[in-house]
Each structure stands twice: as C-alpha cells, then as structure tokens.
Structure 1
Amino acid sequence: MTAPLLWQRYLALKAEQPKLRMRDAAARIGASEGELVAADPSATRLKPDWSALLGGLKAAGPLLALTRNEAAVHEKTGVYDHVQIEGRMGLALNPEIDLRLFLSQWRHAYAVAGERPSLQVFDQQGEAVHKIYVVEGTDRAAFEALLAAQADRAQAVTPEPRPATERKADQDVDVEAFRQEWRELRDTHEFFGLLRRHGVERTQALRLAPPEFAQQVGVGAVDAVLNSAAGSGLSIMVFVGNAGCVQIHTGPVHRIAPMGPWLNVLDPGFNLHLRMDLFTEAWLVRKPTVDGIVTSLECYDAEGSLIVQFFGERKPGKPELAAWTALADGLAAIAPGTPRPAA
C-alpha cells in the first residue's frame, strides 16, 4: 500500500471514529504505527543519530516522555538532562526523566508537526519505542530547530517481521542449578544474566524459581499497590518498557482512577494507564542483593510479555523501605483468580 493511500484510509477511519488512537487505527488498517506515521504529510524522517537527538533535547526545557507496550502507557514530564550514550546502550538519569535505552532496537525517527509537535521513534517492526511531546513551558523554537537539523531524506524502511524466539522446555532446564544461582544473586541487574545463562523466559523463570522467591498472585494486586501507596504516601517505583526503552517513575502516586478496562494514575507530571483486561499473570518476586531482599510486583500478558513492575523507592546501599516490604508481603493473600475490586 502506498503512503498516500495508507494516509487516506487512516483519515477515513478517523472520520468515523474521531477518538481512535493512531496505534489502534494502524492495527485496523493492517499496517504498523511506524508506517502510518511515515505516511503522515506532516512527518519528517530524521537521521538516526541518537546522541545528537537526545543530547540536544535539554535546550527545549520540559517535555513529555511516553513509553508504552501493548497494555501500559507511562508518561512523565521533565527535562532530558544527564543523557549518557555508550554504543548501543543509553541512560537518562533525572528525578523526572529516568530512562534505560536499548538503542539496537531504535531504527526510525520522525518529527511530527501539528498542534502538539513530537519526536517519535520506532523499531524495525514499526512498533513505537519512545515518543517525546512538547508541553506547556517547552521552548518550541529550540525543539523544532533540533529536529530540523536532523532531517533526513532517506526513504523509510519497510517493517520487518519480528524474529521468532525458541522457548526452552521446562524439562530441559537445570532447575536446581538455576535455583541455586537465584539464591546467590547479589544485584537485581544480575537477574538478566541468570535468564540468559539458563535460556529461560521471565514467566518460565518465575515458575521454576525457588518457592520463597516467587509467588503468583491475583492481578488485583495492582489495584492494591496503587491504592495503598496513594493512601499512605509511600514512594514507589513504576517501570514500563518495551524492547527499546524502559521508563521509570519514582515517587508517590495520588489520583487513582479506574475507567473501563483502564486503571490510571492521573497526577501532575506523571500519568500511568494500565489496560487491566490484558493482564494475565501477576507475581510477587524477591531477589537477594548485597543490600538485602528486593521485592517487586511483576505483571505479564497472555504471551508472557512484561507489562509493568512495581518496587518501593530504593537507594543504593540501603535496604528497601520497610513500608514497601510490608505492603508487598500483604499481596500474598490475593490468590490468582481473585476478582479485582469493583470500580
């Protein structure tokens, strides 16, 4: 399908359903969101110079960072300061804009004009990796100048199918060795190496974990975490990511608002949108570290993809907050299959 025809089909669909999001419209048309954005006459393809793009954003002042997956949308407003890029990895370490960037997944970038100009990045499959929008207080001239300087005349690349991944059968895993290495973890970041060494996926790892370190709970644990934290003022960490970016909120949450299938946090500077009908599994996970046990609530969809993680606010060299540990321990009483609280 040519770009003009794709855009015409989008406009026709949008006329019928004005509130339809571009991501959902692309799926209905049978295209990726990246293809649809590339077809937008107001979009300009950008050079994939991530250091220049991300490093230049500080001059624009406050911006809205958006990272999402199929079942979660994470929005934070702040300044893109302290951006570090080394090879195919990147970081942004700030109280508001806190990102972990896996740049091997970043392939296509577009500047999208209009009432709310944005920078949108997509992977090779045309899935959105990270989006950046202007907000009140943004220096629009600086933002638009940065994007104009990175304009690229190269043709858009046709999205490629996502490579299939082979799943290792449980009986082929050395479970005892896996469990022993889990018990010997000294840092949460060592967990990724543990998965790679044993060739297991995350939900498989949780099923095979030492029983004292992983317990499946009902997805209503998400409601319990957010409502309890909002009621007590407890500072939590909320991680949402995809293959190319993980975005983190650290701090309290206040306004928890269920709306249909969505469970939302609607706070100044932080919005979280969780599509709860796509949540299939929730796990209470504990990992040993040199600072003591680190406890998280992890949630997955039907394909075993990670949707969102919750932690208590953590400081290097200090044990996790006792109030978070108590809240997490209480989640064990929410059995899998327990109905979520009524809105």
Structure 2
Amino acid sequence: MDTLTDPAQPSATPFFATGKRSRDLAAELGLSEAELLAAHEGPEVVRLTLEAEALVNALPALGEIMVLTRNDVAVHEKVGRFGGIRFGKEAGLVINPPLDLRLFPKAWASAFAVEIPGEREPRRSIQIFDRAGHAALKIHLRPASDVAAFEALRARFAVAERAPLTVTPYPTEPVAEAIDAEAFRRDFAAMADVHEFVPLLRRHKLGRRGALALMGEAHVRPLGAKAATRLLEAASAGALPIMCFVGSRGCIQIHSGPVERIRAMGPWINVLDPGFDLHLREDLVAEAFAVRKPTRWGALTSVELYDAAGLLAVQFFGVRDEKGPEDERWRALVARLGGAFEG
C-alpha cells in the first residue's frame, strides 16, 4: 500500500536538530528518509524536479564533492569530481577517476537540495531517492566545492509547488519457478565477459542469489565468518589493489585501488583512506561467497556479500586490465579465505 506524507504537517523539532542521522530518525518515526525530508518546513530542504540527465550534467559545476552510496549493509564514500558522464536507455555512467558510478535513473523517484546548519558552515548536499524513499545516492559538498554552483542548481531545479510525496515499498522478490537449470549452466559456461552475467540472469528470470545455487561448487564456494574483514586486512597488508562495489537500487559505486587503514569499530569494519571510506556492518552479512565466472580472458573471481533478504550488498574483485586475466595475487588471497577453486 502506498504511503502519503503531508508536507504541511511538520514535526515540532527540525530533523537536523535532533542530533540523529536522518536515516536513523526516519526509521524511528516509521518513515522513509525521503518522506522525512519532504515533511520538513523551512528553507533547509528544497525539493527538486527529477530531470535525471540534466541534473547529473549540472553536477560537474560543484567541483570537488563526496558521493555516498549505501544499502543496509555497507556505506561507500568517494571524493572526486563529476565528469565523463554518459547516458544510455537503461543506465548512466560517471567515469572520472577516482569517481566511478553506474546510475539507474529509472529507479529514481525524488530529489532534494539540503542545506542544514553546521558548526562552521552549512552542510550542503544533493540527495536522490528511489520509489520506496530509500537513498539512491547522495552528493555532499566539501570545503573546496563551489557554493554558488550549488545555489544555482537548487534554484534551477526547485519544484515550484510543494506536494505530498508518495512512496511505494518494493515487493519481496518472487521465487523463480520452472527454471531450466541446464540451459542456464550452458549459457553461463559460454560467457565471454563478466558483464554478460546480469543480462543472463534477466533472460533466465533469476536473481543473483538464486543463480549461485545453480552454478555449483566449481564456481561458488561459501566463505566463513568475517570474510570481509579478512579480505580487507589481507589486501592492506599485501598492498594489493582491489575493486569494491556497493550498490543501491539507483546507483552502483566503485572503488578501484589500494585499501590501507582498516579499522574495526563495534559491528563495523571500516576503510578510512584519503578520498575513500567504506563502512561495512559485518554482523548484517548473512552469507559470503567466492564466485568464479568464465570469460575469454580466463576465470574471474569475486567475493560477494549478501544480506538476510538474499540481496547482493557488496562485491569485491581484484584490480586488472579490462581486457586481461585477473591478478594471481588476488586469486591467492581469495583462496586463503576458503575460496580455492581447482583448475
């Protein structure tokens, strides 16, 4: 059932004055984060028209920013500048190292410009949400950002009239029926590029987690507890560059490079490096697997972390040339985690 939030009914205390993160406060109130922002009365939050391509193409003017993409398990933060923007029918790309984003505007449903008081200066951001009111991605300004460009963007895309925000929860993913397992395995074995995997899943009406059960132990090995911690610590100790993918429904954000400062804080395992932060709730990782997929350049190995709902939360690869084999050091690291494959 759809939920309607009336922005004419503000809470007594502004959300930013509670000392709580807006996501946490929204959960306490039984709201989505987008609903919380939409209900705010005051100039701190301005709803934006969601012209996805135009909005993204306006972001380079902000200069240096931090992009945040998250799901229930992990938060991925990367500092850089928007550029190298391309849009196709299904997705957009931002490839301007160190930023590397895959954008899925069809999942975007609302956007806001947020400017809230801070100790030294206001904290400014552009926040985009999916139809359930969950954050697709957030773009946070930094001290070097262009504030005038932010103000111009806010004025250009501001919604003229306030209106209720409708959110629609995503249904539980249905269990696929009548799967032709042999046909899937045959098509999987014929893959020439790892990017063919998602279209393959669509053709066979499979989710990622369901596909793992069909791929067999020649391609999938379960990993034990603390797989992410052990992976990150080993990559740091060996100065091995890795790729870390964290996705929401509206964006996948990628880090490619070394990880150095690995810190555990309560249930979180963190990467705290200049320009890149990863915050991962390992206690919310329900399953972890080493996965091997065929390509024309040889098998590629990933480490995949799934949440309790069976959704992919985090994915790791070794850094490699796009058209070349994977680094043997990465393969050896995964083997030490318990993901050794024969051949």
**Match in the other structure for 1:121:** 128
Q: Deviations over 1:201-228 (max 9, x none)?
A: 2112112213211111114221111001
- How far apart are residue 310 of structure 1 and its match? 0.4
Q: Residue in 2 aligned with 1:339?
A: none
Per the TM alignment, residue 9 of structure 1 is displaced from its structure 2 partner at its CA by 6.2
Matched length: 328
% identical aligned pairs: 45
Out of 91, 96, 99, the position equivalent to 1:97 is: 99
- Asked if the contact 1:218–1:282 (Cα under 8 Å) also holds between the matched residues in 2, the reply is yes
1:72·1:307 contact (CA, 8 Å) conserved in 2? yes
TM-score by length of 2: 0.91
Matched, 1:49 2:59: no
Change (3 A) 1:219 1:100: farther
Q: Which moved more, 1:150-159 or 1:300-309?
A: 150-159
The answer for the alignment partner of 1:27 in structure 2 is 27
Of 204, 208, 222 in structure 2, the residue corresponding to residue 198 of structure 1 is 204
Q: What is the CA deviation profile of residues 164-199 of structure 1, one whole-angstrom value per residue up to 9, with x for unaligned ones? A: 432125xx3222222222211111111112212222
Q: CA deviation at 1:88?
A: 3.9
Report the counterpart of residue 279 of structure 1 in structure 2.
285
Q: Which residue of 2 aligns with 1:72?
A: 74
Cα offset, 1:24, TM superposition: 1.3
* Letter of the 1:175 counterpart: A
**Separation (CA, whole Å) in 2 of partners of 1:285 and 1:261:** 25
Q: 1:333 to 1:103 in 2, by over 3 A?
A: closer
In structure 1, stretches of 5+ residues that fail to align are 335-343
Letter in 1 for 2:260: H
C-alpha displacement of 1:314: 2.3
Q: Offset of 1:80 from its aligned partner?
A: 0.3
Q: Hey, what does 2:170 align to over in structure 1?
A: 162
Contact 2:228/2:282 (<8 A) preserved: no
Corresponding residue for 2:235? 229
CA distance in 2, matches of 1:289, 1:124: 35
Take 1:265 and 1:294, find their aligned partners in 2: how far apart are those partners? Answer: 24
| Aligned residues of 2:222 and 2:339 also touching (Cα < 8 A) | no
Can you list the C-alpha shifts for 1:273-329, whole angstroms capped at 9, x where unaligned?
A: 001111000010011111111110000011001110000012221111111111112
TM (norm. structure 1) is 0.91
Q: CA offset at residue 27 of structure 1?
A: 1.0
Once the 2 structures are TM-superposed, how far is the Cα of residue 50 of structure 1 from its aligned partner?
1.7
User: 1:149 is matched with which residue?
Assistant: 156
1:109 corresponds, among 108, 111, 135, to 111
Could you tell me how far apart the structure 1 residues matched to 2:243 and 2:290 are? 15
Name the aligned partner's letter for residue 91 of structure 1: L
Q: Give the AA of the match of 1:255.
A: R
Aligned ranges 1:78-93 → 2 under 5 Å: 78-93=80-95
Correspondence for 2:12 = 8
Give the equivalent residue in structure 2 for 1:183: 189
| C-alpha contact (below 8 Å) 2:64/2:141 kept by paired residues | yes
CA positional deviation for 1:39 = 2.0
| 1:141 CA displacement | 1.3
- Aligned counterparts of 1:14 and 1:144: Cα–Cα separation in 2: 23
**CA contact 1:179–1:210 (8 Å) conserved in 2:** no
Residue aligning to 2:119 = none
Q: 1:291·1:319 contact (CA, 8 Å) conserved in 2?
A: yes
> Match of 1:107, SS?
strand
Distance 1:6 1:275, change over 3 A: farther
- Counterpart of 1:256 in structure 2 is 262
Q: Which runs of 5+ in 2 are unaligned?
A: 117-121
Higher share of residues assigned helix: 1
Q: Distance in 2 between matches of 1:137 and 1:130?
A: 20
In 2, are the aligned partners of 1:263 and 1:274 still within 8 Å (CA)? yes
Q: Secondary structure at the match of 1:211?
A: coil
Q: Which residue of 2 aligns with 1:312?
A: 318
